[in-house]
């Protein structure tokens, strides 16, 4: 392993979070496996090595992800005397037979037929948000479109009462903070309260829908079918939290990053109008919403010219892999006409993102509706980005729609 003194990659550092790509380039060139002191973890940065880490789930397990996803429940246990032990492992933290069983069941929720059926709802919702944005002349795209759209879509899939959507959005935002961000005691209490509120709502919904022939995701996942059985109520609770964390805020960052790219270079507006799906795919590569994933090495393993010891935490740098010059020509350039299908934004292997098709649909439709109505997009103030070791994207994107 090469920890060259000139390399100072630390995902906790603000300058790395502001622009990680120069650091990634140095890692790929000089230290493809790099020990991050602050996290006591090994960062893997080249496309081939990241792909291997994500694919080989026997050597690189999801144990570290399981610990992260359980944090909101732990806060509830610490601050609200909740029962953290009742909650089973999340699908993103499961491996082997447990993951296979869970995946088989939750795949029912994301069939191509189901995703295709929801496009009209997504488009009508996006059109409403865009109309409200344009009526104001300028607005923050994130709060006006990018954030509420995927959250409401998930709420619709789950059969959430429209009157509860604001609560559902607040729960979603707190679950994301609780999983991935370092929090002080007051923030942990806030996450704990949100976890308790959402847990109470879910318990009531599960009791009401068990055995019901409904088509919402809660009813579908509670209903045993010939293959795979059904989720238990506790498994369903954990899955909903996972869906909120993995399926809402990441899509919001994807939509915002794509819109920001257009606002920064007006010529890209035509490219987006020509092929929104390809534009979304290149945005996934170029500004990967989930910059890294956590894994745990089950044995001493040789990767990228270095040995990672058994039990070590591994950071698979998806954002770096997607800028690897050995895989993508002119990798540092945004080119929506390229074939970006080799990107790893949704992971790889058995843990490939379950909601990838939904995220692509939501982003494509949101952007299509936006540029169909706005002659051009222009920045109208300072862009604010998420402070995170995991995520990348705008939290505030003020635009004018001339």
Instruction: Show the tokens assigned to 288.
Output: 């990967």
Report the C-alpha gap between 335 and 265 in whole angstroms: 12
My answer on whether 39 and 71 are in the same domain is no
My answer on whether 143 and 232 are in the same domain is yes
Report the C-alpha gap between 136 and 150 in whole angstroms: 22
Least confidently predicted of 40-44, 72-76, 264-268: 72-76
My answer on whether 25 and 75 are in the same domain is no
Please tell me the predicted confidence (pLDDT) of residue 102: 83
pLDDT tens figures, 152-171: 998 888 888 888 878 877 88
**Burial letters 232-262, b for 16+ CB under 10 A, else e:** ebebbbbbbbbbbbbbbbbbbbbbbbbbbbb
Please tell me the predicted confidence (pLDDT) of residue 67: 67
Is 125 inside a domain boundary?
Answer: yes
Please tell me the predicted confidence (pLDDT) of residue 3: 52
pLDDT score of 228 more than 70: no
- Banded model confidence at residue 23, pLDDT cuts 50, 70, 90: very high
Is 397 inside a domain boundary?
Answer: yes
My answer on whether 105 and 211 are in the same domain is yes
Please tell me the predicted confidence (pLDDT) of residue 285: 98
- Banded model confidence at residue 5, pLDDT cuts 50, 70, 90: very low
pLDDT tens figures, 284-324: 999 999 999 999 999 999 999 999 999 999 999 999 999 99
Is 321 inside a domain boundary?
Answer: no
- Banded model confidence at residue 367, pLDDT cuts 50, 70, 90: very high
My answer on whether 69 and 41 are in the same domain is no
Is 206 inside a domain boundary?
Answer: yes
My answer on whether 118 and 247 are in the same domain is yes
pLDDT score of 110 more than 80: yes
Residue 35 or residue 87, greater confidence: 35
My answer on whether 142 and 23 are in the same domain is no
Is 384 inside a domain boundary?
Answer: yes
Residue 72 or residue 216, greater confidence: 216
- Banded model confidence at residue 1, pLDDT cuts 50, 70, 90: low
Average pLDDT of the segment spanning 246-263: 93
pLDDT score of 334 more than 90: yes
Please tell me the predicted confidence (pLDDT) of residue 165: 79
My answer on whether 26 and 155 are in the same domain is no
Average pLDDT of the segment spanning 358-387: 94
Average pLDDT of the segment spanning 117-134: 94
Is 278 inside a domain boundary?
Answer: yes
pLDDT score of 226 more than 70: no
List the domain range (segments joined by +) for residue 26.
1-45
pTM: 0.90
Average pLDDT of the segment spanning 136-141: 84
Please tell me the predicted confidence (pLDDT) of residue 8: 86
- Banded model confidence at residue 213, pLDDT cuts 50, 70, 90: confident
Average pLDDT of the segment spanning 357-380: 94
My answer on whether 7 and 90 are in the same domain is no
pLDDT score of 328 more than 90: yes
Please tell me the predicted confidence (pLDDT) of residue 84: 45
Average pLDDT, the chain: 87
Least confidently predicted of 19-33, 185-199, 324-338: 185-199
Is 32 inside a domain boundary?
Answer: yes
Q: What is the CATH number of the domain that holds 257?
A: 1.10.630.10
My answer on whether 30 and 150 are in the same domain is no
My answer on whether 71 and 173 are in the same domain is yes
Is 316 inside a domain boundary?
Answer: no
My answer on whether 39 and 77 are in the same domain is no
Average pLDDT of the segment spanning 357-368: 96
Percent share of the chain, pLDDT over 90? 52
For the chain, what is the domain count? 2
């Amino acid at each position: 392993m090469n920890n060259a003194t000139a390399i100072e990659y630390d995902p906790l550092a603000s300058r790395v979070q502001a622009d990680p790509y120069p650091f990634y380039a140095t890692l790929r060139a000089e230290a493809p496996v790099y020990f991050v002191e602050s996290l006591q973890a090994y960062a893997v940065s080249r496309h081939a090595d990241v792909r291997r880490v994500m694919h080989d789930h026997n050597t690189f397990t999801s144990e570290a992800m399981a610990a992260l996803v359980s944090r909101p429940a732990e806060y509830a246990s610490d601050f609200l005397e909740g029962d953290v032990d009742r909650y089973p492992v999340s699908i993103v933290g499961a491996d082997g037979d447990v993951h296979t069983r869970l995946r088989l069941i939750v795949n029912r929720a994301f069939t191509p037929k189901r995703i295709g059926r929801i496009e009209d709802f997504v488009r009508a919702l996006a059109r409403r948000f865009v109309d409200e944005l344009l009526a104001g002349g300028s607005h923050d795209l994130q709060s006006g479109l990018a954030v509420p759209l995927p959250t409401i879509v998930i709420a619709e899939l789950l059969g959430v009462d429209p009157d509860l959507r604001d609560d559902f959005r607040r729960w979603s935002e707190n679950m994301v903070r609780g999983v991935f961000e370092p929090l002080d005691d007051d923030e942990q209490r806030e996450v704990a309260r949100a976890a308790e509120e959402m847990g109470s709502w879910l318990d009531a919904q599960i009791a009401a829908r068990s055995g019901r022939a409904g088509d919402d995701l809660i009813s579908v996942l509670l209903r045993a079918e010939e293959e795979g059985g059904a989720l238990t109520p506790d498994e369903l609770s954990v899955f909903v939290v996972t869906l909120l964390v993995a399926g809402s805020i990441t899509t919001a960052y994807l939509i915002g990053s794509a819109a920001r790219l257009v606002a920064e270079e007006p010529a890209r507006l035509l490219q987006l109008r020509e092929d929104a799906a390809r534009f979304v795919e290149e945005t996934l590569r170029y500004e990967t919403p989930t910059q890294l994933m956590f894994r745990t090495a089950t044995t001493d393993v040789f990767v990228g010219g270095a040995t990672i010891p058994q039990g070590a935490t591994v950071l698979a740098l998806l954002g770096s892999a997607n800028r690897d010059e050995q895989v993508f020509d002119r990798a540092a350039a945004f080119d929506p006409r390229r074939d970006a299908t080799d990107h790893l934004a949704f992971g790889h292997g058995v843990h490939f993102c379950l909601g990838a098709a939904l995220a692509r649909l939501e982003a494509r439709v949101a952007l299509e509706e936006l540029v169909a109505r706005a002659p051009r997009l222009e920045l109208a103030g300072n862009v604010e980005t998420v402070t995170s070791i995991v995520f990348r994207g705008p939290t505030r994107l003020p635009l004018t729609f001339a």
